[in-house]
Amino acid sequence: MKLCRILPALCLAGLPWVLPAAPAHAYIAYTSNERDNTMSVIDLDKGKTIRTVDTGQRPRGILVTPDGKEILVCDGDDDMIQIFDSKTFKVVGEIDTPDPELFALRGENPLYVSNENDALVSVFEIPSGKKLASIPTGVEPEGMAVSPDGNTIVNTSETTNMAHFIDYKQEKIVANVLVDPRPRNARFRHDGKEVWVSSELGGTVSVIDPVKHVITHKISFPIQGLRGDAIQPEDIRFTKDDKLAFVALGPANRVAVVNTSTYKVERYLLVGARVWHLGFTPDYKYLLTANGLTNDVSVIDVPDLRVIRSIPVGRLPWGVAVNPKSAP
């Protein structure tokens, strides 16, 4: 029973479990725990949470700056973004912005933030918090993505069911693409040739040409024994070579592995319950999943395509991010 508490998803499925013979890697990861109003700090070398940090109310989006020095957290119910020092975990800055949900950095600056209740994308300079622009969007903006060349920003609006393409220089929407119901997230391939958008209620991922602004493929996720409404695509991540995509499927408790050449699902990986967001280690050897209902993070060995570990964190983990710098 003790082992089942550690690895709930694998035990429930009756699957064999194997802890890695060697540590995952000497990196530090973070989860935003929506119910606890905390951030869990995870030592991936030790495979455990080493610290819990208080945040504002309803933390969701979380990211680490490229230099690894700061952690940004969206506190939706406090209408602010907190900036934490990654060594001391003290708050070193705050950005006032209504109901921030998700955000994305264009390199080191600026920061693009989806303001869900105000139907806006706000643009900020960090760490000063200076507001640079406000861009109107559809209703309930959520997902944010920046193209590899930095020229295009994509925002998804959950109620309008659109992917909005924003020109970096013009700071305005230049194209809208209608997708399936309740788009949650967007992610560019590393080569910039496609942007993938997940639709939670549609149960699909739309593959969009970012130049022509048209859907070129649509991916669905049939899983034997599960109702369609239990399959809810959330976050998307690509391997460094763009050959595989990983799609978190929410209450399906699985991550789909998609071949990006054929757009076919190659396999499903069983993780914790209600998988939300994903995060790679900087070497792309491991993928972390934030599992909202089992209050843990699953660690996926990417080359072997298997789940190797479950790490308990705070209650209702929503976002996950990995520091790009190795732990000292």
Give the chain's end-to-end CA distance (angstroms, integer). Answer: 35
Q: What is the pLDDT of residue 325?
A: 78
Q: What is the pLDDT of residue 328?
A: 53
Q: How confident is the model over 290-303, as pLDDT tens digits?
A: 999 999 999 999 99
Q: What is the pLDDT of residue 5?
A: 40
Average pLDDT of the residues in 25-32 = 90
Q: Give 10's pLDDT tier (boundaries 50, 70, 90).
A: very low
Q: How confident is the model over 202-225, as pLDDT tens digits?
A: 999 999 999 999 999 999 999 999
Residue 15 has pLDDT above 60, yes or no: no
Q: What is the pLDDT of residue 12?
A: 41
Q: What is the pLDDT of residue 26?
A: 81
Reduced to 3 states (helix: H, G, I; strand: E, B; else coil), residue 26 is coil
Residue 22 has pLDDT above 60, yes or no: no
| 195-199 and 183-188 strand pairing | antiparallel
Q: How confident is the model over 53-74, as pLDDT tens digits?
A: 999 999 999 999 999 999 999 9
Q: What is the pLDDT of residue 1?
A: 35
Is 42 within 8 Å of 51 (Cβ atoms)? no
User: Burial code of 102-130, b = ≥16 C-beta within 10 A, e = fewer?
Assistant: bbbbeeeebbbbbbbebbbbbbbebbebe
Q: What is the pLDDT of residue 25?
A: 56
Q: Which domains does the chain have, with CATH numbers?
A: 2-15+26-326 (2.130.10.10)
Q: What is the pLDDT of residue 299?
A: 98
Q: Give 20's pLDDT tier (boundaries 50, 70, 90).
A: very low
Residue 320 has pLDDT above 50, yes or no: yes
C-alpha span between 112 and 146 (Å, rounded): 9
Residue 6 has pLDDT above 60, yes or no: no
C-alpha span between 258 and 6 (Å, rounded): 28
Q: How confident is the model over 150-203, as pLDDT tens digits?
A: 999 999 999 999 999 999 999 999 999 999 999 999 999 999 999 999 999 999
C-alpha span between 115 and 270 (Å, rounded): 32
Q: What is the pLDDT of residue 249?
A: 98
Residue 261 has pLDDT above 60, yes or no: yes
| Sheet of strand 27-33: strand arrangement | 48-54, 38-43, 27-33, 317-326
Is 66 within 8 Å of 108 (Cβ atoms)? yes
Percentage of residues of the chain with pLDDT beyond 90: 91
Give the CA distances from residue 158 to residues 48, 144, 249, 315, in Å, rounded to whole numbers and listed in that order: 34, 12, 17, 25
Q: What is the pLDDT of residue 327?
A: 57
Q: pTM of this prediction? A: 0.92
Question: Bridge partners of 242?
Answer: none
Average pLDDT over the chain, rounded to an integer: 93
